Each structure stands twice: as structure tokens, then as C-alpha cells.
Structure 1
Amino acid sequence: MNKNELNPDASPQAAFGARLRSLREACGWTQEALADRTGYSSVHVSAVENARKPPTLRFSRDLDRAFGIEGADTFERQYREIKHGSLLEGFPEYVNFEGRAVEIRLYEVGVIPGLLQTPEYAATLEADAVRRAAITPEQAEERVELVSRRQATIARAPAPLIHVVLDESCVRRPMGAPTIMDAQFDRLLKFAEMPNTLLQIAPFKMGARRPFSLPVTVLTMADRAIMSYAESAQRGHLERDGGSVVPILTAYHQLQAEALSQAASVAMIEQLRKGSP
């Protein structure tokens, strides 16, 4: 039986598949034999080997158990490198700092930010990306899981101070069924009640007084160092030069001063939850 030639340099996913085939053949196992050891079908093993399907976290861990691989060079580590490849360039680096920040200030446009999303809202958002063939279903599932892990930032002790300003479009834009938006509105209201948070809405009527046209995040670290994060269509950029971040922080303070108070913002969300304009 002829087998496809694998080019591990073609992509990280191809490198994963080539390594999998090499180890499997070194053990003298067929794809069927490996499938029996991992609980997957031989078709699935073949698809991953030939880079027709991306590996999942569970499959990678099952491979490590089947081959007895431990330490730094596991399939799980290789999988996580591929997973980061499905995220916007620069975003994994930002998430690392986000998880250690003592203060998080963020401004979002169009969608509820990940730190405040319910699982259902996040899943609906990623399902649309799958529909557009922008990502695979497996990558969508991993992104939803990442949202959950990031939200542990809010619950850690000591908790960071989190300032959130949402453009009005975030709460006006429907996402999925009405029940999904109802649950998301409840999530926002509970967030506003937390002792370490501040939630504000930048209303449409702010017009030109809105200092940002795109989402932006400013982090303050334990040593009082500040950094900002912003995204373009191609990549995310983490700015760690204080001289460049200070003007962004100043603009953020101006945004907060012009935005609705938390009480007025909560009132708007409650009206939307009731179906009022």
C-alpha cells in the first residue's frame, strides 16, 4: 500500500503528523494498532498524520500515554504550539501578562469581551467563525475553553481591579437566541456588582468625543509597569514602552469620564434585558 510523503516543514500541523507517523512506525504499529491504544479510529489517526485534521488536546494526551512520552517534548506541548498558531499573532503573549496584571482596563467595540462572555455567547461567536470557514470546529472549541481559563483571572486572589468600558454596540448587537443574550446581560450585571470591577457603557451619542475607534486594553503589573494591547486584522500588538502607553492610558481616563456612570450603564442593560429600547 502506497503512503503519502509527509513534509514536516509545510506547517506545524504537518510536523505533528510526520512525528506521529515516525514514532508509530518505529514501534512497529499500524494505524489500526495505534487507534486501539488511543480509543480513536484508524481514519482519525490517518487524518492527523496527513495533516487533514488538526490534533486535539485529548488526542495529544492519549498519544503521550500510548507512546510513554513524558517531559518537555510531548505531543501535548506540540499541540499547544499549534493551538497558539490558530490565535491572532501576539495574543498568547498578551494572555500571559493578563493573567498576572493587578489592574486591567479594557475598551471593546461590537462584541462582549472575552473576560465577560458566558460560555454560550462565546460558543455562538466562534460558531459563526466556523460557518465562515475562518477556523475549524476544534479550534472553536479550544477558543471557548480559553475564554473560560482567562476568566479565572477575575476569580484569583488577590483579584485584579478590572475597568471595562463597552461601546454601546456591544450590548445592542444580538448574538444568538434571545436566551443567550438574556444570560449575557445577567453576566454583565453580576460583573458590575463585584467589588473589584467597574462597568461603563460609552453611548453612541458620545460621537467624536470617543477617543478610541478600535478595542484597546491597558494592563498594570505588580511592579506598576504598564503595557497596552491592541489588534489589527492581521495581528495583536503588545506595547511595553511606558512612554507609548501613557498617552493611551490618558485617553482611557478621558473615555471613562465621558462614558455613562456604572449606575446608568446598569440601567441601560436592565432595559435591554427587559426588551425596552
Structure 2
Amino acid sequence: MPQRRLVTSRSQEPRQRFAEELRRLRAQRGDTLRQLGDRLGWDYSLFGKMEKGETLGGPEVVQALDQYFGTPGMMLALWELASGDRTQFRERYRQYMALEAEATSLWHFAVSVLPGLLQTPGYAREVLAAGGLKGEALDQQVEARMGRRELLAGEDPPQFRTILSEAVLRTPLRGPTQWRQQLEYLLEAGEQGEVTVQVAPFCAGLHGLTNADVMFLRLPEGRTVAYAENGYRGELIEETTPVERLQRAYDSVRDLALTPAESRKFILRILEEVPCDPST
């Protein structure tokens, strides 16, 4: 029996198909590239490059597109096929990002790295490069991470609290200028009404969150979920008992942490210790 031919005008090459679907969805919505960029919080030129097949964008960008166009998971699946990397954006992290977008408040603990929501481009680039990314993939991930900061810059942002282990602030970037910019941005973010920054100093000793970053998401229906991440894997936790256990550990760390005012002074002292960049 002869093989059945696929009757469709759409490309079967993954990268072209991804670009075609993005053009089709935008046209169907009646948006210009600039309007799409304004509504999603990314530079409109990124979407132009994506529609031309010049770049695929990062997973956070594609997740935002799925939410905006009402195509849950479709664009992300095409993106995974086009990028050839099905491990980069695992199912549970997809779920986490969808929940993060609708959360009314977020509580975070950082054991070694600043949360993505408070990273500068220079910090994000060095952290992602240390994880092995380079070239176009690195550029895409940095741009996507910067786009995520829009979550705290909207008209009705969720409340966000982060408790930073002192180790986070004692691990500088290689470039003093970039590190100074990151610390200044952290101080600036802490002055926003919906953002609270605290530091858990070394003298606080061991505690229940010593080995992992944790983010708690308070959802509109009143339930709380958690996302715990170490250097090798992340896990979305939705069951009530383990979430409550992690919350108790978080509460104990918050009791040990410096107050927001004390934390600000602590960060200012570290900023004063940053050497001047000899190249400037």
C-alpha cells in the first residue's frame, strides 16, 4: 500500500513550523509585532526574529505566548521540537511557571544564587554561562529571564519576599562593575512596596532549608504549592503535608533572618566592599 501523503500547507520542518504558527496566531489576534511586545513585556524585535526563524526565543517567552494566545502547551511543544532539547523544560517546571503567573504572593529562599526575578542581565548571563550555556542559547535564556522580571512590574504585581543566605551575597560576579550593578538593583528592588528582601546571616547556623532553593506560591483559590530546586533537579510540590513541612522550615528561617531594614544595611556594607573596576 503506498504511503499516505500528509495534506497540509504547513511546514513539517520543526523550526519553520514554529515560526509559521507564531505568525498565524499573531495575525489571528490582529496584533502588530510592537503590540505583542508591549503586551507580553519583551522587545518586539525578538518576536520579529522568531517569526523569521532567526531565533527560537527562550522557554519563558514561549510559555508567555501560549498563555496570551490561549494555546496551552502547543507553542511550547513546537519549541521543544524545534530546539531539539526535550529535557530543558520539563513538565513540572511548565506547571510551575503557569502557577507562578497566577500567584497572588510568592515567598522564596535562596541558598546560593539570587532569584531570577531579581537578577540583572550581567548576573543572569554569568550564572547561565556557568551552567554550560553559550552562544545563541545563552542570549535567549538571558533575554527570557529578564522578561520574567515583568511579573513584579505589572499593574497588580504579587507580593514577593525573598530570604537570601549570606552565601548568595558572598559569591560575587567576576566583574566588579557587574556585581555592583546587581547589588544596587537588589537594593532598589527592596524599596518596592510589594518586594521584601531579607538576609539569613551565617551566624544563624544550620536550618531546614540549608540545601535547596524554595519558592512558595499562594494561589487565588487559597492553596499554596512549592517548588524546591537544588543544583541537579527541581520539583513541584503540591501535596499539603510536604508543603506545610517546608513552610514551617521557611518560617523558622525567617525568624533567624535579619529584618528588612537590617538586611538593607547588610547589603550596603557588602556594596561598599566591592573594589573599583580598574578598567573604568
TM-score for both structures, normalised by structure 2: 0.68
Matches within 5 A, 1:1-277: 19=13, 60-63=50-53, 78-79=78-79, 85=86, 87=88, 89=90, 90-129=92-131, 134-209=132-207, 211-275=209-273
Q: CA deviation at 1:211?
A: 4.0
Preserved contact between residue 88 and residue 234 of structure 1 (Cα < 8 Å): no
Give 2:13's aligned amino acid: R
Where 2:156 maps in the other structure, the secondary structure is coil
Preserved contact between residue 129 and residue 138 of structure 2 (Cα < 8 Å): yes
C-alpha separation in 1, matches of 2:97 and 2:15: 33
C-alpha separation in 2, matches of 1:19 and 1:221: 39
C-alpha separation in 1, matches of 2:129 and 2:156: 34
C-alpha separation in 2, matches of 1:145 and 1:102: 25
C-alpha separation in 2, matches of 1:121 and 1:179: 11
Q: Give a deviation string over 1:161-203, Cα, whole Å, max 9, x none.
A: 1010001111110113101111111111111111112110111
C-alpha separation in 2, matches of 1:219 and 1:74: 25
Give 2:106's aligned amino acid: I
Q: CA deviation at 1:76?
A: 8.6
Q: CA deviation at 1:58?
A: 6.1
C-alpha separation in 1, matches of 2:76 and 2:161: 35
Gaps of 5+ in 1: 1-16, 24-55, 65-70
Where 1:99 maps in the other structure, the secondary structure is helix
Percent identity of paired positions between Structure 1 and Structure 2: 25
C-alpha separation in 2, matches of 1:20 and 1:230: 32
C-alpha separation in 2, matches of 1:209 and 1:22: 50
Change (3 A) 1:93 1:177: same
Preserved contact between residue 95 and residue 150 of structure 1 (Cα < 8 Å): no
C-alpha separation in 2, matches of 1:234 and 1:135: 15
Tell me which residue corresponds to 1:39: none
C-alpha separation in 2, matches of 1:161 and 1:22: 40
C-alpha separation in 2, matches of 1:151 and 1:57: 18
C-alpha separation in 2, matches of 1:80 and 1:257: 42
Change (3 A) 1:163 1:74: closer
Give 2:86's aligned amino acid: G
Change (3 A) 1:126 1:91: same
Query: Which deviates further from its counterpart, 87-96 or 219-228?
Result: 87-96
Larger radius of gyration: 1
Change (3 A) 1:120 1:136: closer
Give 1:93's aligned amino acid: Q
Give 2:102's aligned amino acid: R
Change (3 A) 1:182 1:22: closer
